[in-house]
Structure 1
Amino acid sequence: MSTERRFSPTGSLVWGLAASQLFGWATLYYAFTLFVQPMRQELGWSDTALNGALTFGLFIGDLAAIPIGRWVDRRGGHAIMTAGAALGALALVLWSGVHHLVSFYAIWGLIGLAQASSLINPAMTVVTANVTDYRRAITYVSFVTGLASSLAWPMANQLIAAFGWRPALLALAIVQIAVPLLVNAIVLRGTRGTRVDHEPMPLGSDAGRASPLRQVMRLPAFWTFALAFSIYWFVSAGTTIHMLPILRERGIAQDTAVVLVSLYGPAQVFGRMALFVLVPDFSARSTGRIMFPLWAFTLLLLLVIKPLGLSGLIIFSMLFGSTMGTLLILRQTGVVEIFGARGYGTITGALSTVSILPRTTAPWIFALMRDSFGGYDGVIAIMFVLTAIGCVAYWSATRAAQDGAAA
């Protein structure tokens, strides 16, 4: 396969990946929270037990992130992303027939593998390796993917209300086959692994003597960058699963709460579009130093905005979603900007593996904290403190990267 192959940032590869990511995230991740209540009512399982399955799936996926990233770096994403989408569809079918908690956890282990092999890290590795203007392409894919929660929550809510939760899962499996599986099988043909023409290690001078992952793991910037985004994943994973009950605790009806959380998607797209339009040649270093503090501010806002009622929660949803969406772009582009594109899949896989415990235990820890505090206000306060720590970590990572590059 030619190492000179390139795809346009506005071509079928990029928009196909965008569609695959949109529906893959909707079916394999965001829809989960809508199934907790009907499964609890039918099967008698606790919220903690149900959220534990999601935690287990995320754990399995993050464990597999490094070997999957290495595969995509070396062989491209066609085979593994197509297989991952197929595995996701199979797991949804199995979930629709589940009756035992152990089986439910095993199914979510399969979903975790499907997520790791077909969602964000391998998709962005394909973009970085095959599209000349990777930053623009990542932004476009992220535009569309930002709508996944807005697609998943109303869709799952309506399917469950109309047919029940088991047939709803079969419908999601059909969606998974019709879009992610077919798109990955068709548009990823001919793609390759990591770009070899990009500067391999802007922070080091021994690029030829060690693997890219070993090189970056020697850098303090890698660990502070990993800390910042481990906090990001902890807060985002926890709020994704718990935002509906947080809103219900504030007296918001279920249907209205679904509408509010569905604003996250358009807000993410708005934030990413504003970034691309206002700062087309944005730097992950400088932009992140603004967005991390703004993200922390939105959580403080959630604590004090209760007297404003529904209008205040709309403001929070828009600000929170837009900052989260922008930060996710900065994670993807920041890896290339700070550490180089060589071994991108393996490095992003390592970042996912480092964040295993924060990301996978977040829904469960949120539930425990809620029970301990007797409500969500204490949980939100802790999230604010953590995001403030994330601000410091990101600043440290980008400053260390600049110092290393200057040296």
Structure 2
Amino acid sequence: MTPHRLPVGAVLGLGVTQIIGYGTLYYSFSILAPDMARGYGLPVEWMFGALSVALLVGGLVSPSIGGWIDRFGAGRIMAVGSLVAALALIGCAASPNRPSFLVALVVIEVAANFVQYGAAFALLVQIAPNVALRSITYLTLIAGFASTIFWPVTSALHASLSWQQIYLVFAGMNALVCLPVHAWLARTARPVRGNASTTEVRKVEGSLPPEKRRSGFVLMIVGFSLQALVSSAVLVHMVPLLSGLGLGAAAALVGTLFGPAQVASRLINMLLGRDLQPLVLAAISALLMAAAIAVLAATAPSMVGAMGFAVLFGFGSGLFSIVSGTLPLSLFGSEGYGRLQGKITSARLIVSAMAPFAFAIAIKPLGEVLSLSIAAICGSLALLAFLAIGRRAG
């Protein structure tokens, strides 16, 4: 692979596997959870509690996965992850009781860290680091259709199949589509061996001076974690939140606008934002998410306000997916990128697992408007964290 040439095949292949990975291992769960809960005689809330536990465990093991990506190569790790994901889906479908189901669900979410964005970004960096910023942008544009595809696909399958049968179908997708693609890419992303000049061409230096990298990394983790907190809390509680604000009928409209807005923001960035630095995009992302929540809190129960919230939040969320891959590369370089992504993924998953529960507790005594105001403040603090990084980089 020529270091300065965009790895089109890798981007397209990963686009397919990311759609399948996110669709089968994450987005399908909310549709199948009620059927799962009935089968095990549990309230549906317990199913989402089990998912939170699984995400939390996945977050705790992410740093180790990041180290393995640097050591063995992201392609090999993703190939193993596809196999484990397929076996875990089969195990989940065959679980005879609640404990075995929870164990299988935890394995599914751990396997997700082997095959989703963090590992995919690292693979693109290992294949061609000098064009990885563009590659990551293109990949997020393709993978942004995961929910758009798999929510209706899962619903259609569920009309005639049980959740266990659907999980078996999903296991086949991971084993028969994702595994071969990742195995092929594992050969493409082998560590470069050769003279020093060749290795140097493939290496990307970070913009932060060495003496400022520790504080810069802490600020980046804080910014990303705050954005993950806001995103997870608001999206999980979207429908009851809108209902509590007197916008029950707008819930469906928000759902139809949010996904396309995510994809649109990535497309606009790809076409017009090539000269924008990832740190600038990170600040814009945090600003849009905070502004979206502020608009919703200030205008409810206005339908126009709800629409503005959906579009702004979708724009911010779409950019967030991009900068979570490009900002670490821009600030810290390609050396040890897998470990960086492992730590970032860990922080995001831990916060994402806890945020919906924390937000649910806050809404009852504080109310929707005050809870949203706190979320907007968190988004603003994320913006300040990125601006602080800019002062260090400048």
Cα distance in structure 1, aligned partners of 2:243 and 2:41: 21
Q: Does 1:69 align with 2:66?
A: yes
1:109 is aligned to 106
Counting aligned pairs with the same residue, the percent is: 27
Report the alpha carbon displacement of residue 148 of structure 1 after superposing the two structures with TM: 1.3
Q: Does 1:232 align with 2:227?
A: yes
| Residues 72, 193 of structure 1: 8 Å contact kept | no
Q: Does 1:220 align with 2:215?
A: yes
Partner of residue 87 from structure 2, selected from 90, 100, 124: 90
Q: Deviations over 1:277-314 (max 9, x none)?
A: 122122012232233112101112222444333x6544
1:387 is aligned to 379
Flag the 1:75–1:227 CA change in 2: closer, same or farther, 3 A.
Answer: same
Q: Deviations over 1:351-371 (max 9, x none)?
A: 223445312212332333345
1:180 is aligned to 178
| Residues 370, 376 of structure 1: 8 Å contact kept | yes
Cα distance in structure 2, aligned partners of 1:377 and 1:37: 29
| Residues 77, 193 of structure 1: 8 Å contact kept | no
| Residues 150, 264 of structure 1: 8 Å contact kept | no
* Gap regions ≥5 residues in structure 1: 207-214, 403-407
Could you tell me which amino acid in structure 2 is paired with residue 160 of structure 1? H
Could you tell me which amino acid in structure 2 is paired with residue 395 of structure 1? L
1:198 is aligned to 203
- Within 5 Å, give how 1:124-273 maps onto structure 2: 124-131=121-128, 132-193=130-191, 197-204=202-209, 216=213, 219-247=214-242, 252=248, 260-261=254-255, 263-273=257-267
Could you tell me which amino acid in structure 1 is paired with residue 174 of structure 2? Q
| Residues 66, 338 of structure 2: 8 Å contact kept | yes
Flag the 1:329–1:224 CA change in 2: closer, same or farther, 3 A.
Answer: same
1:396 is aligned to 388
Give the secondary structure class of the aligned counterpart of 2:42: coil
Give the secondary structure class of the aligned counterpart of 1:163: coil
RMSD: 2.8
Could you tell me which amino acid in structure 2 is paired with residue 222 of structure 1? F
Give the secondary structure class of the aligned counterpart of 1:188: helix
Could you tell me which amino acid in structure 2 is paired with residue 236 of structure 1? S
Could you tell me which amino acid in structure 1 is paired with residue 271 of structure 2? V
Cα distance in structure 2, aligned partners of 1:164 and 1:258: 26
Partner of residue 54 from structure 1, selected from 48, 51, 55: 51
Flag the 1:189–1:280 CA change in 2: closer, same or farther, 3 A.
Answer: same
Cα distance in structure 2, aligned partners of 1:99 and 1:333: 43
2:320 is aligned to 327
Give the secondary structure class of the aligned counterpart of 2:160: helix
Q: Does 1:288 align with 2:278?
A: no
| Residues 258, 311 of structure 2: 8 Å contact kept | yes
Q: Does 1:345 align with 2:338?
A: yes
Partner of residue 76 from structure 2, selected from 72, 75, 79: 79
Cα distance in structure 2, aligned partners of 1:345 and 1:288: 20
Partner of residue 336 from structure 1, selected from 319, 325, 329: 329
Could you tell me which amino acid in structure 2 is paired with residue 80 of structure 1? I
1:274 is aligned to 268
2:196 is aligned to none
Cα distance in structure 2, aligned partners of 1:325 and 1:352: 17
| Residues 48, 367 of structure 1: 8 Å contact kept | no
Report the alpha carbon displacement of residue 244 of structure 1 after superposing the two structures with TM: 4.2
Cα distance in structure 2, aligned partners of 1:17 and 1:291: 24
Report the alpha carbon displacement of residue 203 of structure 1 after superposing the two structures with TM: 3.0
Cα distance in structure 2, aligned partners of 1:172 and 1:246: 31
| Residues 127, 188 of structure 2: 8 Å contact kept | no
| Residues 202, 340 of structure 1: 8 Å contact kept | yes
Q: Deviations over 1:305-338 (max 9, x none)?
A: 44333x6544432321221111221121111111
Report the alpha carbon displacement of residue 127 of structure 1 after superposing the two structures with TM: 0.6
Report the alpha carbon displacement of residue 10 of structure 1 after superposing the two structures with TM: 4.9
Cα distance in structure 2, aligned partners of 1:105 and 1:394: 37
Taking structure 1 as the reference length, what is the TM-score of the superposition?
A: 0.85
| Residues 78, 189 of structure 1: 8 Å contact kept | yes
Give the secondary structure class of the aligned counterpart of 1:189: helix
| Residues 301, 316 of structure 1: 8 Å contact kept | yes
Taking structure 2 as the reference length, what is the TM-score of the superposition?
A: 0.87
Q: Deviations over 1:78-103 (max 9, x none)?
A: 22101111211222222223453322
* Gap regions ≥5 residues in structure 2: 193-198
| Residues 285, 315 of structure 2: 8 Å contact kept | no
Stretch of structure 1 that moved more, 142-151 or 357-366: 357-366
Cα distance in structure 2, aligned partners of 1:153 and 1:18: 17
Cα distance in structure 2, aligned partners of 1:372 and 1:158: 39
Cα distance in structure 2, aligned partners of 1:398 and 1:377: 32
| Residues 225, 351 of structure 2: 8 Å contact kept | yes
| Residues 86, 177 of structure 1: 8 Å contact kept | yes
